Structure 1
Amino acid sequence: MPENGPASITGIGLVTPAGIGRSSNWATVCSGRSTTTPLDILADAPVGFASTVPSTFDIDRFTGRHLSRQYDRSTQFALVAAQAALNDAELTPTVRSDARIAVVIGTAFGGIHTFEDNHTRFHTTGPTAVTTRFLPKGLVNMVSGILSIELRATGPNLVTSTACASGATALGVGLDLLRADSADIVIAGGTDASVTPLLVAGFHKLRALSRSQHRLRQASRPFDRDHDGFVLAEGAGILTLERGSDAAQRGARTYAKLAGYGATADAHHITAPHPEGRGAKEAIHAACRDAGIAPGDIEHVNAHATSTPTGDSIEAAVLAEMTPNAVVTSTKGVTGHTMGAAGAIEAAYTALALSSQTIPPVAHLEQPCAAARALDLVTGAPRTGTFETALSNSFGFGGHNAVLAFTRT
C-alpha cells in the first residue's frame, strides 16, 4: 500500500576516497584525515592532485568475477556499493525475489573513462581500435542498467544527471517511487569516476579547482578563509530505501529516515549559483515542507560546501538565515568533491550522523570565511549530542539544487 511518509534507510554502501565500506568511511570522515594526494596520471594536467578511491579497490576481487574489463570504473564503484547496501540491509534472496526493486543512480559523467579511452584509440589507431564494449560501457544510462541486471532488479530503472546534485536527486526520486507504490525496495545513490586529465583541465579552465600545491593535503578546506577551489574526487554512495512499515515488519535496522526532498533551479547562470541563494533557499523550504519540519528546527546540516569561495559564502549565508540552530559540517574536506556521487555519499554520512549522534568535523578549517562566521561549524573533532533532524544539501552547475531532509526515527 502507498505510504506518503518517510523512507527507512536500511542499508549503506560506500566506495570513496575515505575508504571502501561503511565503517572505514565513517572512521576516516570523523578523523578529518585528508585523502588528497598527487597522482601520476595527472602529471601533465594543470592540477596534479586529487582524491581517489583506495588502490585496494579491485572489483574482480570483491565480486569473485572478471568484471573489470566489462564495466566502466564508475559502474564498478556503483556495483560494489550497491551490493554492500543490499547486504547491509540484510535483504535475503527470498525477500528480494518477491519484491519490486527499483534502481535509481545519479551520475554527472557516466562512463567518462570509457569515452576517453576510445577517443584516444580512434585518433591514434583508427576506427577499428574502438572497442566492442565502448557504448555498453560508456553510455550514461548503463550504470543503472547494469546494476539492475547484476542485482536482478526488475522494477523502475532510472538515471538522474543533475551535475553535482545527481546523487541527491536519485534519492529524492527513490523516495517518490516508494510513495507512489511503484516499488517496494529502492537501490538509490550516485557514482562518478571523474579523476581524469581531461576533466581536470576543464575544471581548471573554469577556475573551479584548488591550486594549493604548497598545502596539498589541506587543499580541500570548506568554509575556510583560505579556500580557493575544490579537490576533484571519485566514488559511489548507494542506499537501500524501504517503506517504514516494510522495514519494521521484517525487523530491519534503520539508520535514519529520508523524510523529505526539495528540488529547484536557480535559472541564473551556467556555473555560478544565484548570488542570493534563491534556488537553495526554495529547495530547503521544499524539503522541510515535505518532511513536515520547520527550517528553524533543523539541528544538523551536511553542507554542499565544496571549498570554492563563491559557493561556500553563498551557502553559508543561506544556512545562517534558514537554519540558524543547525550544527553544520562539510565532509568534502576529507573526501574532496565526488561530483555526481557527492549528494548520495553525503546523504549516507548524514544518516550515520543521526544514527550515531555524532557529527564529523569540517576538515582543515582554521579560520572561517566572513560569511561562515555566523554558523555553528564543527571543527577539530567530531561533536556528539542529541540530533533528531538534518539536511543534506547538493547544488550543481546549471543551477540544479537538491536538498534531502532526514529524521532520526
Structure 2
Amino acid sequence: MTVGVITGFGAVTPLGVGAGLLHDRAVAGQSGLTDGVGRCGDFTAREHLSRHETRRTDRFSQLALVAAAEALAQAGWRTAAPPYPSDRVACVIGCGLGGTTTLGIQQGVLDRQGEEYVSPLTVPMAMANAAASHLSMRYALHGESLCVASACASGAQAIGTGLRLLAAGAADAVVAGGTEASTSPLISAAFRAAGALSPTGASVPFDRDRDGFLLGEGAGILVLETAAGAARRGAAVLGSVLGYGASSDAHHVTAPEPSGRSAAAAVTRALAEAEVAPGDIGYINAHGTGTVLNDRLECDALRLALGDALPAIPMSSSKAGLGHLLGAAGAVEAIATLQALRHATAPPTVGLRRPDERLGPLDLIRTARRLAAPVPGRPLIGLSTSFGFGGHNAALVLASAPSITTKGRG
C-alpha cells in the first residue's frame, strides 16, 4: 500500500474562502445556496489575484489558484520554489466543463459586435486544462501536468491519479484537486431539461421528498507527498489518502448502471488498496446528489460494497449545502471528509428532515455528529464517493493523522 500524505489543502466554496470555513459552516448546518444556486459569493478574484492573472483566466481557474494558494502555504511551499526538484512535482486538476463563463461572454461579443472583437485568449481561458496550466506556471511545477475530465468524478479521479503517480515513483509530490464554475443559465437549463435539477430549489439528498440537485461552483486543492518526503523536510502531516478505486458503468451516458455493481467495485477497490475493512470506516461523505434514482443506486452500491457494516457508519452529503460542484465536487468533498476526520466531527446533510426509508437502514446525519474511530487508538478513516455522467465511478479512502487533535480549525 502506497499512502499519499496530505501536507496542505485549500478550498473556495459557496460556504466561503478557505477550508476552515468549509468545515465550520458545514458543521453548523449552514447552506451556501442562494436562490437555488451555490455561488462563491465571498470570492472576488481581484482581492486575491493580480490584474494580469484576473484578466487572463476564467473564473474556474481563479478559484483553483486561490484554493491552491491556501494549500501550498499550509504545506510550507514558497511561490515558484517547490521543496523538491521542480520536474518531480506533478499537477493534476479535475474539471468537468471548463471555462463556461468565458465562452458565454465571448459568444455575446460575437453576437453583438462580430468575429473581429472575439478575444484571442478565449480558447486558452476556456480550455479545461487551463487551471492545471496556470498552477504549474505560478508554482514552477515542471512535472507531469494534466486535467482529468470525467464529469462529476473528475476531482476524485484527479486525487487518485496523483496517488498513482506517487506510487509509481513518477513524482515526489503532487498538487491535485478539482475546480468548476459552471452555474450559467445555459448549463442550468441543460440540466433542467435533463430532469436533474430540483424544481423546488431545495435539494436535500436522502430525504423522502428529494427532487434533484442544484448547481454550485468551487475548488478544492490538496498537496500530496510521500511519507518519506514529508518527513525529510519536516512537514506536518494533516492526513492521508490511503486508497483509491475507480470503475466504469459502461452502461449509459447519463443514467447509472441499475445493479450498482460497478459503483460498488470502485468502493471495494479503494478499500482493498487502503487495506481496511468496511467496519474500519468511521464516516462516509456520500456523492448524494439528491435525485431519486442516484441516491437509491448509491445506497445500493454502498450496501454491496460495505455489507452489514453500512447501517452503523455515519453518512452525510455535502451537496445539500454547497450545490453540485460538478468537476470540483470530488475534491471539495474529499477535503470535507478530511476535515470531518481531523476534527472528529461530521457535518449534517443540510435540511434532511425525513430520511427515505426506502433507501434501507442508514445512519444519516441530521445534526453535527462527533466521530469516533471504530478501532480505538487508530486514526479515523473516512470514505468519499463520486459518480459522474458517462458512468465514471470513483472512491477515496482518507484518514486523519494520529497526532491531530480536534482543537484547531485549520
| Aligned mate of 1:82, from 68, 88, 96 | 68
1:385 partnered with 2:372 = yes
2:12–2:63 CA contact under 8 A, matched in 1:
yes
Partner of 1:98: 85
1:92, distance to aligned residue in structure 2 (A): 4.2
Partner of 1:220: 203
What's the RMSD between the two structures over aligned residues?
Answer: 1.6
Partner of 1:349: 336
1:385, distance to aligned residue in structure 2 (A): 2.5
Partner of 2:405: none
Change (3 A) 1:372 1:31: farther
2:330–2:385 CA contact under 8 A, matched in 1:
yes
Q: Deviations over 1:9-58 (max 9, x none)?
A: 111110010110111111111111122112xxxxxxxxxx311002x312
Give the TM-score, by structure 1 length: 0.92
Alpha-carbon distance between aligned partners in 2 of 1:253 and 1:364, rounded to the nearest angstrom? 36
Alpha-carbon distance between aligned partners in 1 of 2:84 and 2:271, rounded to the nearest angstrom? 35
1:182 partnered with 2:174 = no
Alpha-carbon distance between aligned partners in 2 of 1:259 and 1:226, rounded to the nearest angstrom? 35
Partner of 2:58: 72
Partner of 1:42: none
Partner of 2:362: 375
2:265–2:305 CA contact under 8 A, matched in 1:
no
1:316–1:371 CA contact under 8 A, matched in 2:
no
| Aligned mate of 1:58, from 44, 50, 64 | 44
Q: Deviations over 1:118-176 (max 9, x none)?
A: 22222232211211211111112222111111111111101000000000000000001
1:255–1:352 CA contact under 8 A, matched in 2:
no
Partner of 1:45: none
Partner of 1:46: none
Alpha-carbon distance between aligned partners in 2 of 1:201 and 1:380, rounded to the nearest angstrom? 33
Q: Deviations over 1:80-114 (max 9, x none)?
A: 11111100111246653635221100000111111
1:157 partnered with 2:145 = yes
1:266, distance to aligned residue in structure 2 (A): 0.6
Change (3 A) 1:97 1:404: closer
Alpha-carbon distance between aligned partners in 2 of 1:123 and 1:23, rounded to the nearest angstrom? 43
- Please say which of residues 101-110 and 354-363 is displaced more in the overlay: 354-363
| Aligned mate of 1:294, from 269, 273, 277 | 277
* 1:398 aligned partner, one-letter code: G
3-state SS, counterpart of residue 34 of structure 2: strand
Partner of 1:206: 194
Matches within 5 A, 1:8-407: 8-38=5-35, 49-54=36-41, 56-92=42-78, 95-96=82-83, 98-99=85-86, 100-212=88-200, 216=201, 219-323=202-306, 324=310, 325-386=312-373, 388-407=380-399
1:7–1:244 CA contact under 8 A, matched in 2:
yes
3-state SS, counterpart of residue 96 of structure 1: coil
Q: Deviations over 1:308-332 (max 9, x none)?
A: 1110111122223433242211111
Q: Which runs of 5+ in 1 are unaligned?
A: 39-48
- Please say which of residues 56-65 and 224-233 is displaced more in the overlay: 56-65
- Please say which of residues 163-172 and 109-118 is displaced more in the overlay: 109-118
Q: Which runs of 5+ in 2 are unaligned?
A: 375-379, 402-410
Give the TM-score, by structure 2 length: 0.91
* 1:141 aligned partner, one-letter code: N
The percent identity for this pair of structures is 42
3-state SS, counterpart of residue 9 of structure 1: strand
Alpha-carbon distance between aligned partners in 2 of 1:386 and 1:172, rounded to the nearest angstrom? 24
How many residue pairs match? The answer is 390
